[in-house]
Amino acid sequence: MTTTSSFLNLTLYNGTTDQSGSFITWTNDMTGSSNSNMIKIDNFSQEISACAISLNSNISGSVTSINSNISILSGSVTALSGSLINTNHQFQKLDEYTYTSGSLTIDIIDFNNIPQDYTNLLIMGITGTGKRLTVSNIVIDFNGDANQGNYSAVQWAKNDSTEYISERLTGGIVVGISNAFYPSSAYGAPLLATIPNYSSSGGFFKTAMGYLATIENPYVTSLMGGVWKSTAPITRIRIGVSFSGTRYPFLIGSKVSLYGFG
CA gap 171, 232 in Å, rounded: 18
Residue 10: what pLDDT?
67
Average pLDDT of the chain is 80
CA gap 78, 69 in Å, rounded: 14
How many Cβ atoms from other residues are within 10 Å of residue 229's Cβ? 12
Burial class from Cβ neighbours inside 10 Å (0-12, 13-18, 19+) for residue 237 reads: buried
Cβ contact 156:222 at 8 Å: yes
Residue 256: what pLDDT?
95
Cβ contact 250:241 at 8 Å: yes
Describe the chain by its helix, strand, coil percentages, rounded to 5.
25, 40, 35
* Region for residue 244 given its phi and psi (left: phi exceeds 0; alpha: psi -120 to 50; beta: otherwise): left
Q: Which has the closest alpha carbon to 161: 121, 109, 217, 236?
A: 217
Cα-based distances in Å from 199 to 84, 92, 248: 21, 15, 30
Q: Provide mean pLDDT across the span 74-82.
A: 75
Percentage of the chain beyond pLDDT 70 is 70
- Which helix (DSSP H) or strand (DSSP E) does residue 45 occupy? helix 37-88
Q: Provide mean pLDDT across the span 198-212.
A: 94
Over residues 220-240, the pLDDT tens digits come to 888 999 999 999 999 999 999
pLDDT beyond 90 at 116: yes
Domain locations along the chain: 2-84, 93-261
Q: 3-state class of 46 per DSSP?
A: helix
12 or 120, which is more confident: 120
Going 55 to 59 to 64 to 68, the CA torsion angle's sign is positive
How many Cβ atoms from other residues are within 10 Å of residue 122's Cβ? 18
Residue 65: what pLDDT?
78
Burial class from Cβ neighbours inside 10 Å (0-12, 13-18, 19+) for residue 149 reads: exposed
